[in-house]
Amino acid sequence: MQNMMKKLISFLFFYFFIVTFGQVYKPMDTADYAKRKDFLRNFSSDIENLSKKSKSDFPGKKGSELSKIYKEFSKEFEKKVKEKSFVFNAEFDSKVKSLIERLRKNNPQIPQNLKILIARDNTPNAYCFADGTFVINMGLFSWLNNDDQLAAVISHELGHKISEHTLKVFLNMIDQDQMDKAVVQNIKSTKENRNQRAFDVLKNRIYRKGVENRKQEMQADSLGYVIFKNSDFKKTEFVNALKRLEDFDTISPRVLKVETYKKYFGLPKQEFKEKWLKKEDFSLYNYNNFKEKLNKDSLKSHPEIVLRIDRLKKIFPELKVENADGKPSESYAVLEKIARMETLPNFYYSEDYGVGIYSSLQFLQDGEEEEYYKKWLGKCFAKIYEARKNYNLNRYLDRVDPKNQSESYQQFLNFMWNLSLDEIKNIADYYQNKES
């Protein structure tokens, strides 16, 4: 009887959610001052304890430097919390906590003092700080397919936490600072090749940091999977989660059709102009004139996901068996939909107005929540208008970069830069219903 009631309540909640989304979605409220204040108080206390422990565990200058790093970090992080970079939402919080509890059941090494924060960030990422603050980007909910895949990412971050990778990074930074100071003094004492020798110090430091970070990612994968497989999640979803992350592109590679531009920018009082779609010709520009002084592969802090998957399959043969992504639970499907609807509010919050317009058009092209995305089209165009009027549009709208952008995104950028100030204002006014 109880199980039937639980299923009925779950169904009714899911049904109510779907029905309410038939109306115009209202973005999440981030003004939970009580929860934010409570988090900041606990966070400040934890950082203070961590700083004291650092001085106790590492006497002398190293402990003092480590304490200083933690305190400087805490100031920046507290600033982000106060600026409402995080959502204090019970549904998202409880989902993450429930997944961590499932992982903890057969993994007693998982710390008890984890504090959960949901970031207003569309990037599918998560990270865990030395004090136990666990940040989950909202983008993970909209990009991953189910609870198991989210638990896989959480397991990876727990691998970092248990291995104390953050602490090791900070200690390496302190040691490297001391070494570099000695080298710099040596460079100053002689006049020959000063610039080249100084650049070599910088380059070697960056490369060493990249190598160390890649090692830590591999370690977190292995330990994370051990945590994951000790739990009741489907093992193959660990690899499926990595594959989903490999497919992620900050700016969607989906093609925005010419018909979409004509549909949404052919307005009653401003007809569509073909010249808006005119592309700048970059064919004669020779990019090979510039030689890279730093090797991109050496700079990467994360190894390619393909290499990470191959390594996991060698260590854990059961991962060689591939299975399709599992279906999401009803509770996950609800959060996935909310996170998807929060994509535009998140872009707007981070002042990514150009990408916000591009994303709005793609949602509209797919026939999703037309009134909702038209509204965000107007809001983002209003900000683009202000930026164009104040001569700082470069801050909010990319320039065309043929080497690193899809054809569709290049076409969009050409369109945006081809619009006049008045044309941008007309579009903003129309979609904000200032003009009938």
| 140-178 pLDDT, tens digit each | 999 999 999 999 999 999 999 999 988 888 888 887 766
pLDDT digits (tens, 9 = 90+) for 213-262: 788 899 999 999 999 999 999 999 999 999 999 988 777 778 999 999 99
pLDDT value, residue 122: 95
Q: Which domain holds residue 276?
A: 256-293+351-435
Residue 305, domain member (yes or no):
no
Per-residue confidence (pLDDT) for residue 92, from 0 to 100: 94
- Mean pLDDT of all residues in 289-301: 45
* Mean pLDDT for the stretch of residues 64-68: 91
Q: Is residue 371 part of a domain?
A: yes
240 part of a folded domain: no
pLDDT of residue 296: 46
Q: Does residue 236 form part of some domain?
A: no
pLDDT > 70? residue 205: no
Chain mean pLDDT for the chain: 84
Q: How does residue 19 score in pLDDT terms, banded at 50, 70 and 90?
A: very low
Q: In the prediction, which pLDDT does 128 show?
A: 87
Please check the confidence at residue 382 and state whether its pLDDT lies above 60. Answer: yes
pTM of the full structure? 0.83
Residue 420 lies in a domain: yes
pLDDT of residue 191: 60
Q: Give the percent of the chain with pLDDT over 90.
A: 63
pLDDT at 349 over 70: yes
> By mean pLDDT, which of 4-18, 184-198, 350-364 is the weakest?
4-18
Query: Does residue 275 register a pLDDT over 60?
Result: yes
Tell me, yes or no, whether 286 lies in a domain. yes
More confident residue, 247 or 421: 421
Residue 154 lies in a domain: no
How many domains does the structure of the chain reveal? 1
* 378 in a structural domain: yes
3-state secondary structure the chain: CHHHHHHHHHHHHHHHHHHHCCCCCCCCCCCCHHHHHHHHHHHHHHHHHHHHHHHHHCCCHHHHHHHHHHHHHHHHHHHHHHCCCEECCHHHHHHHHHHHHHHHCCCCCCCCCCEEEEECCCCCCEEECCCCEEEEEHHHHHHCCCHHHHHHHHHHHHHHHHCCHHHHHHHHHHHHHHHHHHHHHHHHHCCCCHHHHHHHHHHHHHHHHHHHHHHHHHHHHHHHHHHHHCCCCCCCHHHHHHHHHHHCCCCCCCCCCHHHHHHHHCECCECCCHHHHCCCCCCCCCHHHCCCCCCHHHHCCCCCHHHHHHHHHHHCHHHHCCCCCCCCCHHHHHHHHHHHHCHHHHHHHCCCHHHHHHHHHHHHHCCCCHHHHHHHHHHHHHHHHHHHHCCCHHHCCCCCCCCCCCHHHHHHHHHHHHCCHHHHHHHHHHHCCCCC
